[in-house]
């Protein structure tokens, strides 16, 4: 039986792993290698302290992994399918095996939201993408639409301009949600054009994406615009489906914790983008991971003390 099992190998999970390994707890981190977390797919992270020139998400996560393994963290690549909770024993079932632990840290992050419009599913991988780092290079000298007005949409739109000739940012309001510095860069970039107060209603094409139907929300006027690709950045959904009957989640599926990362179940902690919180950033994911590990250590200490005094 492990002292702690961490589910998720992004910045939150790996930071928790660094702390649990240094606390000399018997710890296992289980990561689903098939899912690229939000950080890994960031071309450049400019606001993680200590890297004035920025660092790629891939490199940062790689560094965290090396650092955690240096302290002895055991990492396995399997998919967690369910969790069975009792106060004495938490069973984590993967696609290969069942593991037991006294405490659990959940750091499974979030996945990109889909719009659910006609053509989206059919053209995913054939012009519809949720990852600019993965696919932007396919659009050299082409025209693409980017949907969304948050940090991800604007950051990725800027990245796509390294390849594409024209990037049309389709946003449902007239005001971007993205941080001001990203807005300034996007507005100054000649390759970026904005289509305000509008949303995509359909993606069309034969073998690949050829056009999008854009509807102006204020006037209901629909316009067909020729594009070679569509990048969707309309937010994230937490990867917590497997926890629905186990933990208290909010209406959007985010895990509810206190500021010690405790969930409503004793011995279960959550960290990073899968939990309900104010600011979802790599730096806060790392902070959550450190606190969750510290809380798990205290929880295990308390259990040991109770054993001695029995």
Which residues sit at the interface with ligand NAP, rule CB under 6 A?
47, 115, 147-153, 155, 172-173, 177, 199, 233-236, 280-281
State the minimum distance, in angstroms, from the CB of residue 67 to ligand NAP: 22
CB 157 within 8 A of CB 167: yes
Residue, CB closest to ligand NAP: 150
**135 labelled catalytic:** yes
**Nearest CB to ligand NAP, comparing residues 67 and 281:** 281
Rounded CA separation 128/146 (Å): 10
Q: Active site includes 286?
A: no
In this complex, which beta carbon is closest to ligand NAP, that of residue 126 or of residue 172?
172
- Shortest Å distance, C-beta 192 to ligand NAP: 15
Give me the least distance between CB of 177 and ligand NAP, in Å please. Answer: 4
Q: Are 217 and 200 in contact (CB under 8 A)?
A: no
Q: Between 166 and 280, name the residue whose CB sits nearer to ligand NAP.
A: 280
CB 135 within 8 A of CB 144: no
Q: Is residue 134 flagged as an active site residue?
A: yes
The active-site residue, picked from 3, 31, 43, 135, is 135
Task: For the chain, state the CA radius of gyration.
Answer: 21
Report, in Å, the least distance between residue 207 CB and ligand NAP: 26
Spell 200-236 as b/e; 16+ CB within 10 A means b. Answer: beebbbeeebebbbbbeeeeeeeeeeebbbbbbbbeb
Nearer to ligand NAP, 11 or 149 (CB): 149
Helix (H, G, I), strand (E, B) or coil at 36: coil
In the set 131, 273, 274, 286, the catalytic residue is 131
Q: To the nearest whole angstrom, how small is the minimum distance from the Cβ of residue 40 to ligand NAP?
A: 12
Tally: H helices and E strands in the chain: 6, 17
- Which residue, 177 or 185, is less far from ligand NAP as judged by CB? 177
CB 223 within 8 Å of CB 240? no
Instruction: Tell me the C-alpha distance between 216 and 270, whole Å.
Output: 40
Q: Which residues are catalytic?
A: 131, 134-135
């Amino acid at each position: 039986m492990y002292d702690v099992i961490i589910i998720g190998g992004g910045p939150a999970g790996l930071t928790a792993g660094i702390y649990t390994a240094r606390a000399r707890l018997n710890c296992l981190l289980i990561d689903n290698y098939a899912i690229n977390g939000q950080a890994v797919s960031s071309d450049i992270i400019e606001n993680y302290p200590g890297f004035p020139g920025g660092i790629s998400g891939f490199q940062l996560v790689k560094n965290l992994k090396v650092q955690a393994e240096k302290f002895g963290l055991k990492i396995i690549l399997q998919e967690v399918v369910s969790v069975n909770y009792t106060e004495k024993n938490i069973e984590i079932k993967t696609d290969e095996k069942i593991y037991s632990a006294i405490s659990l840290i959940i750091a499974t992050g979030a996945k990109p939201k889909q719009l659910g419009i006609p053509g989206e599913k059919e053209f995913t991988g054939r012009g519809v993408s949720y990852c600019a780092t993965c696919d932007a290079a396919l659009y050299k000298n082409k025209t693409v639409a980017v949907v969304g007005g948050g940090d991800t949409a604007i950051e990725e739109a800027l990245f796509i301009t390294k390849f594409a000739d024209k990037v049309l940012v389709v946003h449902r309001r007239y005001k971007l949600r993205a941080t001001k510095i990203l807005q300034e860069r996007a507005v100054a970039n000649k390759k970026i054009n904005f289509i305000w107060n509008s949303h995509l209603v359909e993606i069309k094409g034969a073998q690949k994406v050829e056009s999008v139907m854009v509807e102006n929300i204020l006037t209901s006027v629909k316009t067909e615009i020729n594009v070679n690709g569509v990048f969707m950045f309309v937010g994230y959904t937490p990867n917590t489906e497997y926890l629905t009957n186990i933990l208290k989640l909010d209406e959007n599926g985010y895990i509810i914790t206190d500021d010690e990362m405790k969930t409503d179940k004793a011995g279960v902690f959550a960290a990073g983008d899968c939990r309900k919180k104010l600011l979802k950033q790599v730096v806060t994911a790392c902070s959550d991971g450190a606190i969750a590990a510290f809380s798990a250590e205290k929880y295990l200490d308390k259990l040991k003390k109770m054993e001695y005094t029995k």
